[in-house]
């Protein structure tokens, strides 16, 4: 069996923690592996990749800086040099990385094992000849391209923005002629090539391509022969580029020893298990050792990082021997008590074979301080296939609507979701509504789709916090409800999100009622004086800042006092309300109509000069004069108009408009006067 020590890269890979960025770039260009391992006393400290080089170029970081001072390195994932290729590939794909740092029994750095080497080693036994590249292409992966005359620096920024390893270069006619990759960034950085040059000056050309109906084994041969890590795939009929396939894509789709372990459901469960409160460990048989190949985040926080360690290092030889004997006999352990360090746990274990290799999944519940009810329920499950239901049982206990989605398809939901939409299964939801965003009611003040080029999740994430509110119909009561939306992204290599809709219907109604009462006149239902003054100050600030204009129209009802004395105040209120409602109908949405005091009203007209304000005032005067009132003769209004000038403030502007109104009253009423 091939082990990592036989195939790892050793030369020009490591640099001391005290090394500079310039030193690291030169070393990466020299080793052609797209990586430099940072060590301290020959113990791995961090990993610098081609993507970091892009960051250095895009942010113009000083290359004389120390590498360790520039980047916040996470402890690298290491693997013992004695491990098998099969096991190494498990670690790579489970953790979403492209290379492993290889160490000896003492944790000292020995080299790196890259994904492309592991794939090539397993190639002969891992592929069927009838597998075509089209069968593993990601149809959702967008092919990013730029014109060949665009600059290198723009290409690097595009790669960083989209988190991709390459861009395709096109002619003015849209024909693909070359490719620029992260590996080129290392060479460009080392040789200090100007990034203002066009892409065409440094791209790899002509393109190395393969058609979408090419056998996967042939794709690997092309990658190996040309010493490249990615290949452009073209349409089988038109030769038009449609996708890019990399060694990582191939590794994630291996058909062989590892293929069965990468079933989508197991991957989904592993990601979800990072968000529960149990301690989960996966143990893999490698060279007659039971090695911990995966731990969820909670387990790492509780026990420390035991990845690539024998399970006995964590729970002891005698403990493991007893447990393993039961597993071999019964193929499971349910609620067996185990002591780890000074803590006590109950354990649920599922057991299965991947070809000839055994794999165990241990789910531990801390009973040192009384296990809670939810975790007790989870640990009753006996098989790995039930782990997803553990998470679902937690979700079902929530009153909030909770579901998991990639932005299009909902893969898991809780009972509150099903009850709200009056369905029995999420497939029924898909048939009725297709996508969740189709259920959002497009009311003003609530989120609704405006940019169909991105997912609704990305769009609402880009919104302000107060705008992350949606309204939907409750299909059990057929009433609209209001929800605050909370979004949690699953690990960065996944495209799934946990979405929580928190019902804030009552809060929203109370908030809207309070806001309306605080800003509106209780009789006429138009804005009150306080709201008008606040709006005017904001408008005047914008007017001064952007050199724009604003006008005011003040008006009051002629002879309202006589109406009150003759017919009573109820009739007077009717006149006030009807005139205010009529005026409100004949102004723009951006205009502000407010009851200033008593029978005096004001209209603020943004981006409106005095001449247009006069025309509006004349129109309103004529409309009001034609209104009919029961038991009361027709009513008229007098209006004063003015426009903001550079020497004005809110007080002088209001006073001039009031003076114009007073002049209109003194000149016989039912008139418009402008000052």
**What would the pLDDT profile of 266-305 be if each residue is shown by its tens digit?**
555 667 777 777 888 888 877 778 899 888 888 888 888 8
Rounded Cα distance, 293 and 286, in Å: 10
Q: Prior bond to 206 cis, omega within 30?
A: yes
DSSP state of 549: -
Q: Is residue 127 in a domain? A: no
Of 63, 79, 114, the last residue of a domain is 114
pLDDT at position 270, please? 67
Interacting residues of 571 by C-beta distance below 8 A, sequence separation 6+: 563, 564, 629, 631, 632
Q: Would you mind telling me the total number of residues written for the chain in this entry? A: 675
Q: Are residues 633 and 527 in the same domain?
A: yes
DSSP state of 447: -
Of 251, 276, 299, the last residue of a domain is 251
CA distances to 120, 537, 588, 648 from 651, in Å: 80, 10, 24, 8
Q: Are residues 110 and 171 in the same domain?
A: no
pLDDT at position 515, please? 66
Q: Are residues 524 and 667 in the same domain?
A: yes
pLDDT at position 578, please? 92
pLDDT at position 496, please? 84
Distance of CA 471 to the CA centre of its chain: 21
If we measure between CA atoms, which residue out of 285, 336, 288, 287 comes closest to residue 315?
336
Q: Prior bond to 577 cis, omega within 30?
A: no
Lowest mean pLDDT among 103-112, 152-161, 339-348, 643-652: 339-348
Q: Are residues 327 and 406 in the same domain?
A: no
Q: Is residue 502 in a domain? A: yes
Q: Are residues 525 and 608 in the same domain?
A: yes
Lowest mean pLDDT among 111-125, 154-168, 491-505, 550-564: 111-125
pLDDT at position 128, please? 44
Q: Are residues 221 and 141 in the same domain?
A: yes
**Does position 462 have pLDDT exceeding 50, yes or no?**
yes
Rounded Cα distance, 486 and 216, in Å: 41
Rounded Cα distance, 418 and 438, in Å: 16
Do 270 and 390 contact (CB within 8 A), yes or no?
A: no
Q: Are strands 497-503 and 550-557 parallel, antiparallel or unpaired?
A: unpaired
Q: At 263, is the pLDDT very low, low, confident or very high (cuts 50, 70, 90)?
A: very low
pLDDT at position 643, please? 95
Of 229, 251, 273, the last residue of a domain is 251
**Does position 265 have pLDDT exceeding 80, yes or no?**
no
Give the best-scoring range by mean pLDDT among 355-359, 439-443, 560-564: 560-564
Q: Is residue 392 in a domain? A: no
* Partner residues linked to 263 by β-bridges: none
Rounded Cα distance, 245 and 214, in Å: 12
Rounded Cα distance, 354 and 390, in Å: 23
Q: Count CB-CB contacts under 10 A for residue 622.
A: 11
In the numeric block, the tokens 């991957």 are attached to: 267
Q: Which residue has the higher pLDDT, 496 or 135?
A: 496
Largest Cα–Cα separation, the chain: 108
Written as six digits, the tokens of 665 are 């009253």
CA distances to 91, 116, 261, 313 from 99, in Å: 10, 9, 20, 25
pLDDT at position 571, please? 87
pLDDT at position 556, please? 93
pLDDT at position 493, please? 52
pLDDT at position 662, please? 94
Q: Is residue 184 in a domain? A: yes
pLDDT tens track for 583-594: 999 998 889 999
Do 77 and 101 contact (CB within 8 A), yes or no?
A: yes
Q: Are residues 499 and 569 in the same domain?
A: no
Portion of the chain with pLDDT greater than 70, in percent: 87
CATH number at residue 71: 3.10.580.10
In a 3-state reduction of DSSP, which class is residue 277? coil
Q: Is residue 452 in a domain? A: yes
Q: Are residues 422 and 315 in the same domain?
A: no
Written as six digits, the tokens of 152 are 């290198």
pLDDT tens track for 618-637: 999 999 999 988 878 889 99
Residue range(s) defining the domain that contains residue 58: 4-114
Q: Are residues 50 and 156 in the same domain?
A: no
Q: At 356, is the pLDDT very low, low, confident or very high (cuts 50, 70, 90)?
A: low
Rounded Cα distance, 256 and 122, in Å: 9
Q: Count structural domains, the chain.
A: 5
Q: Which residue has the higher pLDDT, 639 or 520?
A: 639
pLDDT at position 155, please? 93
**Does position 508 have pLDDT exceeding 90, yes or no?**
no
DSSP state of 632: B
Q: Is residue 648 in a domain? A: yes
CATH number at residue 554: 3.30.70.270
pLDDT at position 196, please? 93
Q: Are residues 529 and 564 in the same domain?
A: yes
DSSP state of 129: T
Q: Which residue has the higher pLDDT, 646 or 117?
A: 646
pLDDT tens track for 24-37: 999 989 888 889 99
**Does position 375 have pLDDT exceeding 80, yes or no?**
no
**Does position 355 have pLDDT exceeding 70, yes or no?**
no
Q: What is the mean pLDDT of the chain?
A: 83
Give the helix, strand, coil percentages of the chain, each rounded to 5. Answer: 40, 25, 35
Q: Are residues 109 and 62 in the same domain?
A: yes
Q: Are residues 540 and 649 in the same domain?
A: yes
Supply the pTM of this predicted model: 0.41
DSSP state of 214: S
Exposure on the CB side of residue 315, measured as CA atoms within 13 A: 22
Distance of CA 520 to the CA centre of its chain: 38
Q: Are strands 176-181 and 166-170 parallel, antiparallel or unpaired?
A: antiparallel
CATH number at residue 485: 3.30.450
Q: Is residue 122 in a domain? A: no
Q: Is residue 124 in a domain? A: no
Rounded Cα distance, 305 and 144, in Å: 38
Rounded Cα distance, 583 and 591, in Å: 11
């Amino acid at each position: 069996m091939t082990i990592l020590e036989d195939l790892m890269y050793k030369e020009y890979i490591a640099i001391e923690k005290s090394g500079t960025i310039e030193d690291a770039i030169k070393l990466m260009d020299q080793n052609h592996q797209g990586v430099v391992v940072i060590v301290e006393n020959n113990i791995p400290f961090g990993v610098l990749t081609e993507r970091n080089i892009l960051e250095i170029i895009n942010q113009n970081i000083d290359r004389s800086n120390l590498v360790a001072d520039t980047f916040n390195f996470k402890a690298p994932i290491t693997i013992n040099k004695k491990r098998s290729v099969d096991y190494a590939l498990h670690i790579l794909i489970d953790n979403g990385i492209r290379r492993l740092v290889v160490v000896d029994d003492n944790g000292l750095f020995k080299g790196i094992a890259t994904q492309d080497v592991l794939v090539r080693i397993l190639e002969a036994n891992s592929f069927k000849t009838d597998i075509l590249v089209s069968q593993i292409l990601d149809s959702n992966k967008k092919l990013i391209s730029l014109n060949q005359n665009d600059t290198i620096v723009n290409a690097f920024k595009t790669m960083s923005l989209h988190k991709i390893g390459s861009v395709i270069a096109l002619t003015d006619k849209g024909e693909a002629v070359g490719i620029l990759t992260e590996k080129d960034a290392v060479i460009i950085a080392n040789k200090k090539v100007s990034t203002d040059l066009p892409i065409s000056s440094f791209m790899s050309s002509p393109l190395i391509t393969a058609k979408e109906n090419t056998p996967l084994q042939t794709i690997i041969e092309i990658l190996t022969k040309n010493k490249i890590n990615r290949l452009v795939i073209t349409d089988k009929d038109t030769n038009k580029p449609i996708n890019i396939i990399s060694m990582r894509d191939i590794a994630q789709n291996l058909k062989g020893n590892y293929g069965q372990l990468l079933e989508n459901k197991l991957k989904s469960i592993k990601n979800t298990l990072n968000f529960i409160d149990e301690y989960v460990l996966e143990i893999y048989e490698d060279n007659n050792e039971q090695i911990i190949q995966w731990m969820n985040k909670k387990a790492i926080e509780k026990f420390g990082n035991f990845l690539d360690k024998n399970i006995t290092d964590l729970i002891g030889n005698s403990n493991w021997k007893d447990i393993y004997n039961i597993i071999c006999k019964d193929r499971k352990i349910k609620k067996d008590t185990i002591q780890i360090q000074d803590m006590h746990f109950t354990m649920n274990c599922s057991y299965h074979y991947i070809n000839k290799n055994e794999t165990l999944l241990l789910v531990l519940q801390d009973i040192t301080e009384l296990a809670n009810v939810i975790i007790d329920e989870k640990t009753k499950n006996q098989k790995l296939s039930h782990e997803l239901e553990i998470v679902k049982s937690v979700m079902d206990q929530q009153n909030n609507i909770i579901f998991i989605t990639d932005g299009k398809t909902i893969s898991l939901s809780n009972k509150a979701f099903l009850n709200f939409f009056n369905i029995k299964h999420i497939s029924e939801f898909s048939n009725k509504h297709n996508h969740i965003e189709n259920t959002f009611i497009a009311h003003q003040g609530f989120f609704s789709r405006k940019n169909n080029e991105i997912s609704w999740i990305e769009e609402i994430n880009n919104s302000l916090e107060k705008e992350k509110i949606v309204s939907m119909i409750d299909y059990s009561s057929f009433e609209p409800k209001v929800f605050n939306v909370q979004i949690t992204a699953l690990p960065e290599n996944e495209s799934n999100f946990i979405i929580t809709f928190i019902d804030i219907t009552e809060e929203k109604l109370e908030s809207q009622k309070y806001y309306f009462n605080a800003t509106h006149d209780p009789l006429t239902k138009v804005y009150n004086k306080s709201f008008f003054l606040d709006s005017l100050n904001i408008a005047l600030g914008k007017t001064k800042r952007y050199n724009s204009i604003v006008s005011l129209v003040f008006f009051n009802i002629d002879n309202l006092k006589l109406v009150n004395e003759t017919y009573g105040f109820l009739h007077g209120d009717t006149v006030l309300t009807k005139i205010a409602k009529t005026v409100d109908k004949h102004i723009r949405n951006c205009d502000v109509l407010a009851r200033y005091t008593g029978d005096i009203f004001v209209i603020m007209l943004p981006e409106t000069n005095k001449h247009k304000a006069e025309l509006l005032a004349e129109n309103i005067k004529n409309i009001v004069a034609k209104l009919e009132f029961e038991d009361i003769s027709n009513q008229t209004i007098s209006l004063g108009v003015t426009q903001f000038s550079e020497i004005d403030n809110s007080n002088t502007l209001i006073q001039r408009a009031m003076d114009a109104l007073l002049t209109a009253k003194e000149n016989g009423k039912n008139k418009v006067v402008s000052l």
